[in-house]
A and B are shown apart, each in its own frame.
Chain A
Amino acid sequence: AQRVTQPEKLLSVFKGAPVELKCNYSYSGSPELFWYVQYSRQRLQLLLRHISRESIKGFTADLNKGETSFHLKKPFAQEEDSAMYYCALSLAYSGGGADGLTFGKGTHLIIQP
């Protein structure tokens, strides 16, 4: 079965410092990868997906199939980036059927002033 691992439960960095949230997955095929974010008192929302190859709020994520990773990066952290970040995987477009999203346990990012 597929699995998503986010090794850091908590990550604290200073404002202006670079941020990297790690995500590794296990699946032999070609899944679709996502980053979801949950700001304080708000609902879970999509931040970005690998097929879009976009930069959202200064964040980027590159799918590395060799290392089965999808790390989220931002060169200069801002205080408003403080939130819970979840990496998620979908098999819907790789013949895996409708198994929904498989989420990691999340990383709590704290940006210190």
Chain B
Amino acid sequence: ETGVTQSPTHLIKTRGQQVTLRCSSQSGHNTVSWYQQALGQGPQFIFQYYREEENGRGNFPPRFSGLQFPNYSSELNVNALELDDSALYLCASSTGRGGTEAFFGQGTRLTVV
């Protein structure tokens, strides 16, 4: 059984650019959630995908978008990067619609300069 893996582990982007972060879910999991964790804060829910459809969204603007693929891996895309987007982005996989026992990846550290 493989765990949740995220790529890349670190990334530096310039304000205004676009970024794509990737996540491979744990074997057997069909739900992927993305979280943003700013320094000194708890993770904040961005959105969730279940069987390739968005299944819920947190308080993030539309420039945060995502995809889930038939193999349940997922991408998080952020357009028009702002300095405040600098954070650790966590992916979590689980089973079932709204599944809550989430298994987290190690995260992608995004720095916007």
A residues neighboring B (CB under 8 Å)? 4, 32, 34, 43-46, 49, 86, 88, 90, 92-93, 97-106
User: What's the minimum C-beta distance from B59 to chain A, rounded to whole angstroms?
Assistant: 8
26 contacts between A and B (CB under 8 A): A32-B100, A34-B100, A44-B104, A46-B101, A46-B102, A49-B100, A86-B43, A92-B99, A93-B98, A93-B100, A97-B56, A98-B48, A98-B50, A98-B56, A98-B98, A100-B45, A100-B46, A101-B33, A101-B35, A101-B45, A101-B92, A101-B100, A103-B42, A104-B42, A105-B41, A106-B41
Q: In the docked arrangement, what's the CA distance between A32 and B102, Å?
A: 13
Asked if B63 lies at the interface with its beta carbon under 8 angstroms from chain A, I say no
The answer to whether A105 touches B40, judged by C-beta atoms less than 8 angstroms apart, is yes
The answer to whether B56 touches A44, judged by C-beta atoms less than 8 angstroms apart, is no
B residues neighboring A (CB under 8 Å)? 4, 33, 35, 40-48, 50, 55-56, 58, 90, 92, 97-107
Q: A98-B48, A103-B44 are in contact. Are A43 and B100 (CB under 8 A)?
A: no
- Which chain A residues border B45 with CB–CB below 8 Å? 99-102
Chain B residue with Cβ nearest A87: B42
The answer to whether A44 touches B90, judged by C-beta atoms less than 8 angstroms apart, is yes
Q: In the docked arrangement, what's the CA distance between A104 and B58, Å?
A: 15
The answer to whether A90 touches B100, judged by C-beta atoms less than 8 angstroms apart, is yes
The answer to whether A99 touches B100, judged by C-beta atoms less than 8 angstroms apart, is no
